[in-house]
RNA sequence: GGCCCCAUCGUCUAGUCAGGCCUAGGACACUGGGUUUUCAUCCCAGCAACGGGGGUUCAAAUCCCCCUGGGGUCACCA
């Protein structure tokens, strides 16, 4: 319960706090996965809080996309803007009054102070510090303004911000569950802005206040937050709140090891869905980036992950995101689906427009093991739902066979299948073999021309299956058309 | 650059906490082979790593130190 005394021996409460500033990010899913699995395994709660305190980067449709993407992945939340919960509201822009009160409290206790420095002065300061090769940071200009000056400026309505008063001596230690204690010298910690001049809180204030108010017990977040963690520790202390347990998870990386980015890697969850990645495959892959079960298996479902995952087991090397391996896992998961399930996925993700039920049932077995992405389905089955690919007479030629011989074979095949009526895989296979022996042909010399005639391509399911699924009418017509390529 | 984090095959990792069982295991990718009418699936085999240097120890991938390398962060963005 969010009573201000949450401790880790009670049911954990964890959260993710994405910003609605663009496409839903794969890194958000990565962190969400760890948080949700941990909370659910421990009988705790997983909360979703929208961190929309930056008005300039706010994108109206982003929030809905975050919801949709996370739901697509199955990473649902127990409390959040759209599902409610006892600690709402869960959108930070709707909690301004709370932050205002907390800021006031910090001001009164002296843990924070009002700063009237203009952006111009700050820019100038930065220039000077840069020129003097000093560390950039606030110089404390407004740290100890006399009360009379403050009152004067306030009554004049001078715009200002609120900063955290960081002690200039001593150290702040961040206890991260995955690492040794991290020691920061207070003199190197900047007086962090807590309230911006537009009255909105910064991430630092809003997050600490909310995590306290929402009873968050474990903060599992990206490693990029380590440097600001001491500021958060100081804030918790100033607020008089107990510290959560911190787990800073390594960042996903591009192939060059830099932090994963849009320019070097697909990062939008929408992209993964549109490409035909299965949610369980993406989740499975993300889970293997930094975690391994004791039996080292790499192919598993969410339930397995949830019941075996321990946050403390997360490894610390920054994992390179490898689409190649994700693709392998995706194929594995596709092959693990039963036909009706696979059909449902294809349908849901829009890869099945105008395809009949019967047609699907027939073609499924032939392509399921050839799919790496759901989107492959369209190309893999175009010869079945449509016409063969365009091809030339030369394409029908198997090495060392002349056009005359090939035409003869196609002609024989056309006649044979016109008079054949058992269009099932086994019967066709037997019939083909019978013809082959009768006509004295090597397998490739018979199968390849037929394959090409029926599909217009070299790589297809077994020819007998293609024939069976196409049926007499289409088989005969396509063999006929192929034969005529030589006229 | 300051501060902070990290460091096993090309990539994801097991092994590190409790040093010997590690001539370092698995997976992806790659290469070769098998099955086979093509492709795919599947099976078998191969390639390939403890970043470097000092310690401690009978013994170090494992513990300590230095170096190097990589990453993050230094906003009135999150």
Quickly state the pLDDT bin for A132 (edges 50, 70, 90): confident
Tell me how far apart the alpha carbons of residues A381 and A404 are, in angstroms, rounded to a whole number.
30
Specify the pLDDT at position A475. Answer: 97
Q: Is the pLDDT of residue A297 over 80?
A: yes
Q: What is the mean pLDDT of residues A221-240?
A: 97
Residue A463 lies in a domain: yes
| Closest to A145 (Cα-Cα) out of A172, A180, A107 | A107
pLDDT tens sequence across A397-452: 887 788 899 999 999 999 999 999 999 999 999 999 999 999 999 999 999 999 99
Domain CATH number, residue A405: 1.10.10.350
* Pairwise pLDDT comparison (A26 vs A360), residue with the higher score: A26
- Rounded distance in angstroms from the CA atom of residue A5 to the C1' atom of nucleotide B62: 40
- Rounded distance in angstroms from the CA atom of residue A276 to the C1' atom of nucleotide B31: 30
Whether any strand B atom is under 7 angstroms from the Cβ of A423: the reply reads: no
**Which nucleotide is closest to A120, CA to C1'?**
B76
| Closest to A223 (Cα-Cα) out of A445, A473, A436, A31 | A31
Q: Is the pLDDT of residue A3 over 70?
A: no
- Which residues 19-38 of chain A have a CB under 7 Å from nucleic chain B? 19, 21
Specify the pLDDT at position A276. Answer: 95
What's the domain range around A406? 393-486
Q: Is the pLDDT of residue A1 over 60?
A: no
Whether any strand B atom is under 7 angstroms from the Cβ of A69: the reply reads: no
Query: Cα–chain-centroid distance for residue A360?
Result: 29
Residue A439 lies in a domain: yes
Whether any strand B atom is under 7 angstroms from the Cβ of A3: the reply reads: no
Give the residue with minimal CA–C1' separation from B74: A136
Who's near A274: CB < 8 A, 6+ residues apart? A349, A375
> Which residue is catalytic, options A130, A257, A262, A443?
A262
Give the residue with minimal CA–C1' separation from B72: A224
pLDDT tens sequence across A241-289: 999 999 999 999 999 999 999 999 999 999 999 999 999 999 999 999 9
From start to end of A196-244, where are the E strands?
Answer: 218-222
Q: Is the pLDDT of residue A17 over 50?
A: yes
Tell me how far apart the alpha carbons of residues A140 and A133 are, in angstroms, rounded to a whole number.
18
| Closest to A208 (Cα-Cα) out of A219, A196, A197 | A219
Q: What is the mean pLDDT of residues A210-231?
A: 98
What is this model's ipTM? 0.96
- Which residues 238-297 of chain A have a CB under 7 Å from nucleic chain B? 251, 253, 256-259, 288-290, 292, 296
- Strand B nucleotides below 7 A of a protein CB? 1-8, 10-14, 16, 25-29, 37-42, 70-78
Residue A142 lies in a domain: no
pLDDT tens sequence across A43-83: 999 999 999 999 999 999 999 999 999 999 999 999 999 99
Whether any strand B atom is under 7 angstroms from the Cβ of A122: the reply reads: yes
Three-state SS at A153: helix
Residue A65 · residue A22 · CB < 8 Å = no
Tell me how far apart the alpha carbons of residues A174 and A245 are, in angstroms, rounded to a whole number.
10
Specify the pLDDT at position A392. Answer: 86
pLDDT tens sequence across A74-123: 999 999 999 999 998 999 999 999 999 999 999 999 999 999 999 999 99
| % residues pLDDT > 70 (chain A) | 98
Q: Is the pLDDT of residue A2 over 90?
A: no
Specify the pLDDT at position A9. Answer: 60
Residue A430 lies in a domain: yes
Tell me how many domains chain A contains.
Answer: 1
Quickly state the pLDDT bin for A377 (edges 50, 70, 90): very high
Whether any strand B atom is under 7 angstroms from the Cβ of A228: the reply reads: yes
Whether any strand B atom is under 7 angstroms from the Cβ of A483: the reply reads: no
Residue A454 lies in a domain: yes
Specify the pLDDT at position A8. Answer: 46
- Rounded distance in angstroms from the CA atom of residue A281 to the C1' atom of nucleotide B25: 25
Q: What is the mean pLDDT of residues A2-17?
A: 69
Whether any strand B atom is under 7 angstroms from the Cβ of A183: the reply reads: yes
Q: Is the pLDDT of residue A376 over 90?
A: yes
pLDDT tens sequence across A154-178: 999 999 999 999 999 999 999 999 9
- Which residues 344-363 of chain A have a CB under 7 Å from nucleic chain B? none
**Which nucleotide is closest to A54, CA to C1'?**
B77
Residue A174 lies in a domain: no
Whether any strand B atom is under 7 angstroms from the Cβ of A179: the reply reads: yes
Residue A296 lies in a domain: no
CA–CA distances in Å: residue A375 to residues A29, A334, A346? 22, 12, 8
Quickly state the pLDDT bin for A7 (edges 50, 70, 90): very low
Whether any strand B atom is under 7 angstroms from the Cβ of A473: the reply reads: no
| Closest to A363 (Cα-Cα) out of A267, A445, A262, A470 | A470
Specify the pLDDT at position A6. Answer: 42
pLDDT tens sequence across A381-401: 999 999 999 988 888 888 778
Whether any strand B atom is under 7 angstroms from the Cβ of A114: the reply reads: no
Q: Is A262 a catalytic residue?
A: yes
Quickly state the pLDDT bin for A31 (edges 50, 70, 90): very high
Residue A165 lies in a domain: no
Pull the structure tokens for residue A8: 């880790």
């Amino acid at each position: 319960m969010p009573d201000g005394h949450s401790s880790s021996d009670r049911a954990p409460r964890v959260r993710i706090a994405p910003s609605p500033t663009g496409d839903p990010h794969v890194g958000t899913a990565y962190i969400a996965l760890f948080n949700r699995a941990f909370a659910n395994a421990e009988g705790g709660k997983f909360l979703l809080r929208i961190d929309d305190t930056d008005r300039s980067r706010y994108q109206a449709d982003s929030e809905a996309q975050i919801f949709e993407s996370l739901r697509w992945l199955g990473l649902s939340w127990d409390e959040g803007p759209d599902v409610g919960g006892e600690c709402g509201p869960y959108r930070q822009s709707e909690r301004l009054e709370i932050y205002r009160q907390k800021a006031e409290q910090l001001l009164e206790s002296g843990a924070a102070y009002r700063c009237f420095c203009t952006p111009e002065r700050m820019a100038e300061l930065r220039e000077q510090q840069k020129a003097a090769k000093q560390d950039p940071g606030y110089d404390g200009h407004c740290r100890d303004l006399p009360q009379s000056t403050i009152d004067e400026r306030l009554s004049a309505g001078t715009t200002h911000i609120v900063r955290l008063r960081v002690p200039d001596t001593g150290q702040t230690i961040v206890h991260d569950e995955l690492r040794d204690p991290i020691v920061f010298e207070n003199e190197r910690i900047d007086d962090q802005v807590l309230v911006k001049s537009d009255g909105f809180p910064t991430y630092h204030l809003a997050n600490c206040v909310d995590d306290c108010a929402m009873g968050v017990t474990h903060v599992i977040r990206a490693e990029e937050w380590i440097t600001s963690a001491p500021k958060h520790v100081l804030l918790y202390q100033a607020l008089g709140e107990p510290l959560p347990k911190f787990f800073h998870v390594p960042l996903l990386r591009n192939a060059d090891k830099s932090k994963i980015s849009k320019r070097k890697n697909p990062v939008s969850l929408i992209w993964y869905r549109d490409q035909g990645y299965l949610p369980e495959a993406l989740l499975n892959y993300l889970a293997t980036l930094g975690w391994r079960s004791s039996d080292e298996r790499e192919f598993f479902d969410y339930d397995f992950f949830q019941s075996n995952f321990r946050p403390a087991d997360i490894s610390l090397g920054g994992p390179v995101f490898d689409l190649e391996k994700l693709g392998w896992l995706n194929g594995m998961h596709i092959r693990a689906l039963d036909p009706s399930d696979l059909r449902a996925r294809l349908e849901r993700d829009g890869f099945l427009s105008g395809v009949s039920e019967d047609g699907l049932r027939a073609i499924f077995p032939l392509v399921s093991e050839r799919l790496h992405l759901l989107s492959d389905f369209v190309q893999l089955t175009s010869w079945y739902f449509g016409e063969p690919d365009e091809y030339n007479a030369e394409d029908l030629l198997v090495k060392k066979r002349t056009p005359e011989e090939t035409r003869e074979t196609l002609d024989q095949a056309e006649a044979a299948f016109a008079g054949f009526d058992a269009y099932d895989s086994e019967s066709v296979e037997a019939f083909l073999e019978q013809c082959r022996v009768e006509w004295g042909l090597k397998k490739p010399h018979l199968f390849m021309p037929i394959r090409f005639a029926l599909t217009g391509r070299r790589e297809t399911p077994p020819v007998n299956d293609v024939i069976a699924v196409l049926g007499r009418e289409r088989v005969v017509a396509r063999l006929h058309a192929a034969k005529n390529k030589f006229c």
